[in-house]
Amino acid sequence: MIKGIVFDLDGTLYRGTEPVPGAADFVREARRQGRRCLFVTNRASRTPETVCAQLNDLGIESGPDDVLTAAQATAEYIGGGSVFMIGGEGLKRALEQHGVRLTDHQPDCVVVGYDPDLTYEKLAQACLLILGGARFIGTNPDRIINTERGALPGTGSLLAALETATRVKPTIIGKPEPRIMTMALARMGLSPEQVLAVGDNLDTDIPAGSRAGMRTALMLTGVSTRADLAAAPVQPDWIAADYPTLTTLMNGG
Ligand SMILES: [Mg+2]
Q: For residue range 104-134, what is the model confidence (pLDDT) as tens digits?
A: 999 999 999 999 899 999 999 999 999 999 9
Rounded CA separation 124/57 (Å): 40
- CA 107 to centroid of ligand 1, rounded, Å: 33
- CA 222 to centroid of ligand 1, rounded, Å: 6
Are 4-42+175-250 and 79-172 the same fold in CATH? yes
- Bridge-based pairing of strands 82-86 and 101-102 is parallel
- Tens-level pLDDT at each residue, the chain (253 residues): 899 999 999 999 999 889 999 999 999 999 999 999 999 999 888 899 999 999 999 999 999 999 999 999 999 999 999 999 999 999 999 999 999 999 999 999 999 999 989 999 999 999 999 999 999 999 999 998 878 898 899 999 999 999 999 999 999 999 999 999 999 999 999 999 999 999 999 999 999 999 999 999 999 999 999 999 999 999 999 999 999 999 999 988 6
Tell me which CATH homologous superfamily contains domain 79-172: HAD superfamily/HAD-like (3.40.50.1000)
C-beta separation of 217 from 8 below 8 A: no
- pLDDT value of residue 1: 87
List 8, 66, 200, 205, catalytic entry: 8
- CA 247 to centroid of ligand 1, rounded, Å: 19
Check if 142 is active-site: no
- pLDDT value of residue 45: 85
Measured at the alpha carbon of residue 43, what is the angle toward residues 240 and 183, in degrees to the nearest 5? 80
List 10, 66, 142, 205, catalytic entry: 10
Check if 8 is active-site: yes
- CA 131 to centroid of ligand 1, rounded, Å: 33
- pLDDT value of residue 252: 84
Look at domain 4-42+175-250 and name its CATH class.
alpha beta
pTM for this one?
0.92
**For the chain, domain boundaries:** 4-42+175-250, 79-172
Residue 187, C-beta contacts closer than 8 angstroms, at least 6 positions apart? 38, 65, 68
- pLDDT value of residue 253: 61
- CA 125 to centroid of ligand 1, rounded, Å: 32
Which helix (H) or strand (E) is 80 found in, with range?
none
- CA 85 to centroid of ligand 1, rounded, Å: 25
